[in-house]
Amino acid sequence: LGWVKEITGGYSLPQFLFHAALCCFAMARTSKDRKYISTARSCVKLLKTWAKKGCPNFPHNILLLEAEDKDLRKQRTKAASSYEKSIKVAKDLKRLQDEAIANEKYAAFQRRRGNMDAANVYLEESIRLYRRWGASKKVEQLLSMMQ
């Protein structure tokens, strides 16, 4: 992520790093290549640095990334707590799309644990939020997962 230091700013950079980290954590679940976890953790570290310097726009994103990391580290109770906090903070900040993503990721976490009832609750909430946000293709994708 050395190239990030060359960028002087921009609203979309934190969102880019957030989504890049989510993708890397997802790839880490299916690959034995450690580069995905390393890249994701580098993104999280940079986001935390910016947050400490006063950027207040993405605490919920950091919480969600921490939840994904804790899940990969098999710290299930801490991961669940971070997922729940991420959902709450996104809701409090009225970040509809981020609340939808957090619910979707928590549903996947619950599904991996075999907690299908909880998974369906969070998936249904995610669908409701994506629908409100206007992400109809995402709604279709998630609905197909429920069948």
**pLDDT attached to residue 45:** 95
**pLDDT attached to residue 12:** 78
Q: Please tell me which residue, 109 or 4, carries the higher pLDDT value.
A: 109
Q: Alpha-carbon distance 46 to 81, whole Å? A: 22
Q: Give the model's confidence band at 4: pLDDT under 50 very low, under 70 low, under 90 confident, else very high.
A: low
Distances (CA, A) of 100 to 66, 103, 146: 17, 5, 16
**Above 60 in pLDDT, residue 6?**
no
**pLDDT attached to residue 14:** 87
Three-state secondary structure call for residue 58:
coil
Q: What is the pLDDT of residues 77-131, one digit of tens each?
A: 999 999 999 999 999 999 999 999 999 999 999 999 999 999 999 999 999 999 9
Distances (CA, A) of 66 to 28, 60, 141: 14, 10, 25
Given the structure tokens 């939020």, which residue do they identify? 129
**pLDDT attached to residue 11:** 59
**pLDDT attached to residue 2:** 58
pTM of the model: 0.91
Q: Give the model's confidence band at 145: pLDDT under 50 very low, under 70 low, under 90 confident, else very high.
A: confident
Q: What is the mean pLDDT of residues 69-84?
A: 98
C-alpha angle 114-67-38 in degrees, rounded to nearest 5: 115
Q: What is the pLDDT of residues 26-60, one digit of tens each?
A: 999 999 899 999 999 999 999 999 888 887 789 99
